[in-house]
Chains A and B, each alone.
Chain A
Amino acid sequence: MRSSGTTRPIAFAMNRPASPPHLRWAITRTTALREALNSLLGHHGPNVHLDLRANAYGLGAQSVATVAAELGFRHATCDPGVSEAGLVTDDSPPDAQWLSLAHEHHAQLLQARVVNSKRVDAGAEVSYGGEYQTTRATHLALVAIGFADGVPRLHPVGGMVDAHGQRYPIAGRITMDQLIVDTGDTALSLGDIVTVWGGTVSAHEWSTWSHRSLEVIGSGLGTRVEQLVGGER
């Protein structure tokens, strides 16, 4: 059902693509993905039936299938239209354990840019419903990604994201297209990159906060999120 899409290879370093899109994107890191699949191979051998449906749960079915075939895996179920020499489906139920390992290895970065940054006083109510109040004068950064892009709308509010390698709390309600980060004394700049998961915050944490499986979360990645592939750390 989900086409494997037009994933485009891109060179990047320091988590920063050379020419990233304007607002939001997901990067599949093939080196980390290879490590994760290798560890699966070591424990369970090459006959694991890899579940690569839903565009490999947002990681890009073609990228994952290619790496899996290179490592010697034999069985995978993909969406129609995705094919990889050496991988065939088999009768056992497809298994998504690879996905958990991939996220443990931070094989996907979900990232978006800061589009507004401001200093506010203590006691400011942030986002819909006023469910978050600043407890001190602080900086708020508005990030161009929300639940329409597949970031789970956490209820009750909460969650963390990563900016410049630091973890920061999400301030209040995640909205359809945006979320707000409370960065304390640090002011993020317009255009700075925030990592929703894959940096110091993992997709596993998002799964815990949202009570949704990694498969459900990965199936919800929206089409506004451009899919990129990167080879290095």
Chain B
Amino acid sequence: MTGPLIELNRRALAVNVKRIRSLLGPDVALMFAVKSNAYGHGMELVAPEVIAQGAKELAVLDIATGIAVREVIAEAALFAWLLEPSDDYLAASHHRLELGISTTQQLQHIAESAPKEPLVIHLKVDTGLHRNGATAKDWPELCRVAAALESEGLITVRAIWSHLADTSVETSLSALSRLQEALSVATEAGLKPAISHLAASHGAIELPETRLDMVRFGILGYGISPFDDHSAEELGFQPVLTLHAPVTHLAEETIHLGVGYQHGLLPPTAQGARLQVAGVWLDLVAVEAQHTVLRGVLPDAAIHQGMRVPVMGAEAPGASVEAWAAWTNTIGDEVVVRLHPDIPRRFADSQ
């Protein structure tokens, strides 16, 4: 082994999808998020696997990503919602993407693109995150324009949706009631959306009433906790990813592992980072361009050049993604999405 390698645990991913399914029950659908290269895990591996495990819908972020996922997944619903007003709606239609729409301008551009089949739309209302979504003031007009386009056969409004701020139970409940108000406005405008969705991992666990008809599962599906005070394991989820790297240099009390910030690792800013190598704890003293420097008392002969060391994730004792997040002053999401796409990835059981 000469460079870093990411291995995925297929069984852990299956456990997580099953855990979500049992949490949600038969009446709530699962949308699994594979945006950002499946949270750094590798979209081309993860997307087919979660579909094989029974997920019917994937969240892809934008049209370009949706097109890339469609190359891999012929038949699932693929949902994109980060759209420029004059984005490539014809391509979205051609690849049968479903679009999250926040503005009347986007609807007008969709109409101008004249899709051959009605584009499937999820209308987004802002329920307090103040990110995407129409404000309460703009919402009636968005619904009116959508209803007009639906009657012309250009779109089908399948869903009303929003996004929680995950600030507190109170703000989440307030978001839920704003979504319900938006749904009645939509109904008055003549829309008949089949579903509503609001929660992602955090909200679905914290406040079951926000699950509605569908939950968008991202980070927790990968076995990484979105909570400060609960590990993923406590919630019944298992980490999927392990980042491995070879020993590339061995000296008296120092070893180098062949992975560095050029591969996407963040250098620790907090004290206390350490890794276990051949059963021995070594201090992680630096993340450099192409290697990570460890220091400590090395056991005789147990460590050798080229040996593979788990650096982060499921199989790295004390060095979970969450631990790396704490060492680097961020959250697990940023730690994993930075892992460079050129690092080889595979399922551990497919060597």
Contacts and interface: CB of A to CB of B under 8 A. Distances in A.
Interface of A: 1-3, 22-23, 51, 53-54, 113, 115-116, 118-120, 124-130, 140, 142, 144, 147-148, 150, 153, 155, 171, 175-178, 180, 190-191, 211-213, 215-216, 219-220, 222-224
B159 to A, nearest CB: 18
B289 A54 contact: yes
Given A2-B262, A219-B340, A222-B36, 20 more contacts: A1-B342, A23-B87, A113-B84, A115-B102, A127-B131, A129-B165, A142-B132, A144-B62, A144-B82, A144-B84, A147-B334, A148-B337, A153-B330, A155-B329, A171-B130, A212-B267, A216-B266, A216-B267, A219-B261, A224-B62
A126 B163 CA distance: 12
B85 A191 contact: yes
12 contacts: A22-B62, A23-B64, A53-B290, A127-B130, A128-B167, A147-B334, A176-B36, A177-B61, A211-B269, A212-B266, A213-B267, A219-B264
B263 interface: yes
A21 to B, nearest CB: 9
A22 B84 contact: yes
**Top 6 nearest A-B pairs by Cβ distance?**
A130-B167, A148-B36, A148-B337, A54-B262, A190-B85, A22-B84
Interface of B: 3, 35-37, 61-65, 82-88, 102-103, 105, 126, 128-133, 135, 138, 165-168, 171, 261-264, 266-267, 269, 289-290, 329-331, 333-334, 337-338, 340-342
B261 A215 contact: yes
A105 B333 CA distance: 32
A127 B165 contact: yes
B165 A125 contact: yes
A211 B337 CA distance: 19
Given A142-B131, A144-B82, A116 B342 contact: no
Contacts of B129: 126-128
A224 B262 contact: no
A223 B43 CA distance: 13
Q: Tell me whether chain B's interface is mostly helix, strand or loop, or mixed.
A: loop
B86 A191 contact: yes
Contact of A115 (B84, B126, B165, B267): B84
A13 B128 CA distance: 38
Contacts of A120: 130, 135
Contacts of A150: 338
Task: Output the residue of B61, B103, B263 with the most chain A CB within 10 A.
Answer: B61
B109 to A, nearest CB: 10
Nearest to A226: B64
A122 to B, nearest CB: 13
Contacts of A53: 262, 289-290
B62 A23 contact: yes
Contact of B87 (A22, A116, A220): A22
Contacts of A116: 102-103, 131-133
A176 B337 contact: yes
Contacts of A147: 330, 333-334, 337-338
B161 to A, nearest CB: 15
A187 B290 CA distance: 44
Task: Output the residue of A23, A175, A223 with the most chain B CB within 10 A.
Answer: A23
Contact of A3 (B36, B64, B331, B342): B342
A188 B123 CA distance: 22
Contacts of B36: 148, 176-177, 222
